[in-house]
Amino acid sequence: MATLTGLTKSGTSWTPEFVESLNQADCIGCGRCYNVCTRDVFAPEEIDVDDEDEGDYDDDVRMVMSLANADNCIGCGACSKVCSKNCFEHVTVEF
């Protein structure tokens, strides 16, 4: 199988890596990925706080990011570059 590749303006080969998953357990809800993504791949989401984490949060819910439109991802990797918690897993596409 072949891997999807493209060319940069200078003619260098480039293989995009598309976001496949986001680890909400590690996400701190900072919104950096949301702000850097121009393709509306992410959306904020409230999740319930686990019993063992209750002391860490003031409310019963916490804000994290979710993959709202993963099919819009163009594979630039900007979300991973700005994420301080390494929450993302990316994959190449084979056809």
Residue with token string 């949301």? 34
What is the predicted pLDDT for the residue at 54? 52
pLDDT, one tens digit per residue, over 20-75 is: 999 999 999 999 999 999 999 999 999 987 766 655 556 688 899 999 999 999 99
Cα–Cα distances (Å) from 16 to 38, 60, 75, 84, 93, in that order, read: 16, 38, 5, 21, 8
Is the pLDDT score of 17 beyond 90? yes
For the entire predicted model, the pTM comes to 0.84
Distance separating alpha carbons of residues 49 and 61, to the nearest angstrom: 5
